Amino acid sequence: MGWVLRISVPLLFGACALASEPTTVDRTLAVTGPVTLDVRADPGGIIITTGSSASVVVHAFIKPLYGRLDFEIAEANILALTKDPPIEQSGNHIRIGYAKDPSLLRAVTIRYEIETPRETAVQAHTESGGIRIEGITGPVEAVTSSGRTQISNVEADIKVADHSGAIVVRSAGGNVFVRNESGGIELSSIRGSVDAETTSGSIDALQLGSSIHAETTSGAIRISQVSPAAIRALSRSGAIKVVLASGAGYQLDAMSHSGKIAGTATSEFQTTKNAHSLKVQIGSGGPLVDLDTHSSKIEID
C-alpha cells in the first residue's frame, strides 16, 4: 500500500471553530484492478469522480459543525482526525468515514472528494449532505437522509434512497431503482429498467430504453421512451404525460378519475372529449402501457 498524507490545519485551538477555511487531509492509496469504495459522511457530503487507474485519491475537508456550542470538542476532534483520518485500505477495498472512535465525529462535518479508477463499485451514505458520483462502472448504492443525490455515466445497476432532497440519474447502463420520501426524481438516458417512487414530488423519466414503473403520491409524471417496453405509471395527485417510442406498437390501458385522456397517440380512439378511461391497441400492439391518475389528466403522444 502506498499513500501520501498532507495536513493543513488553519487556526487551530482557540480560533479553529471560527475558521472559515476547512482543515484538509489528502491521501493517495495505490490500487490494482477493480476497486470497492464504502464511504460515509455524517454530516457532510460525498463527491466521487474518475481518476487514475492505479490509485484512489481522497480529499477530506473537515470543519466545525456550526450552530453548536461545543467548539472545544470540535477543536480537539479536528486535531485527532488530521492525525488519524478515517481512511482504511485492505487491498482494493477502501472504507472512508468510519472512525475507530465514533465520538471523534461529534461537532464536526467532513466532506469527501474522491478520485477513483473507472472500475469502481460504490456504497455511499450521508445523514446530511449531498452525494455526487460520476464516470464509474458501478454498481452504485447511495443513501442520504437530507441532500441532493446526482449520479451520471454509470454502467452497472444503481440504487438510490433519499429522505429529503432531489435525485438525479443520467446516462445509466444498468437498472435503476430509486426511492424518495420528499423530493423530485429526474432520470434520463437509462438503458436498463427503471423503478421510481416518491411520496411527495414529480418524476421525470426521459429517453428510456427499457421498462419503467413510476409512482408518486403527490406530483406529476413525465415519461418518454426510445425503445418500446412496458410502462406503469400511477399518480394519486398529478398529471401523467407519456411519449411513446416512435412508430412502435403498444397496448394501452389508461384511467383518469377526474380528468380527460388526450394526446396525438390516442386522438383517433377518442369517442368523447371527456373520456376518463381508454383501453386500445396502438399500431400492431406490443408492451402494456398502464396509466392511472386520481386527480388530473393523462396525455399520450
Q: Tens digits of per-residue pLDDT, 141-184? A: 999 988 999 999 999 999 999 988 899 999 999 999 999 998 89
Closest by Cα among 169, 167, 298 to 244? 298
Of the pLDDT bands very low, low, confident and very high (cuts 50, 70, 90), residue 270 is low
Residue 250 near residue 301 (C-beta atoms within 8 A)? no
Burial category of 244 from C-beta neighbours within 10 Å (exposed 0-12, middle 13-18, buried 19 and up): buried
Among 20-24, 42-46, 227-231, 235-239, top mean pLDDT goes to 227-231
Q: Is the pLDDT of residue 275 over 90?
A: no
Residue 115 near residue 134 (C-beta atoms within 8 A)? no
Q: Rounded CA gap, 178 and 183, in Å?
A: 12
Predicted pLDDT of residue 277: 85
Of the pLDDT bands very low, low, confident and very high (cuts 50, 70, 90), residue 250 is very high
Predicted pLDDT of residue 8: 44
**SS3 state of residue 55:** strand
Q: Looking at the whole model, is its pTM more than 0.75?
A: yes
**SS3 state of residue 148:** coil
CA dihedral (89, 93, 95, 96) in degrees, to 10, reads 80
- Spell out the domain ranges in the chain: 1-124, 157-301
What percent of the chain shows pLDDT beyond 90? 72
Predicted pLDDT of residue 93: 98
| Four-residue CA torsion sign, 64, 66, 68, 71 | positive
**Among 5-14, 57-66, 247-256, 265-274, whose mean pLDDT is lowest?**
5-14
Predicted pLDDT of residue 68: 56
Predicted pLDDT of residue 18: 44
Q: Rounded CA gap, 34 and 255, in Å?
A: 48
Residue 46 near residue 112 (C-beta atoms within 8 A)? yes
Q: Is the pLDDT of residue 2 over 70?
A: no
CA dihedral (251, 256, 262, 263) in degrees, to 10, reads -50
Predicted pLDDT of residue 272: 46
Q: Rounded CA gap, 37 and 129, in Å?
A: 18
Residue 77 near residue 10 (C-beta atoms within 8 A)? no
Predicted pLDDT of residue 269: 65
Distance of CA 243 to the CA centre of its chain: 24
More confident residue, 254 or 270: 254
**Among 31-40, 246-255, 267-276, whose mean pLDDT is lowest?**
267-276
Predicted pLDDT of residue 69: 62
Query: Considering the chain, what is the average pLDDT of its residues?
Result: 89
* Mean pLDDT along residues 209-219: 95
Q: Rounded CA gap, 130 and 125, in Å?
A: 9
Amino acid at 45: G
pLDDT in tens, 57-114: 999 999 988 755 677 888 899 999 999 999 999 999 999 999 999 999 988 999 999 9
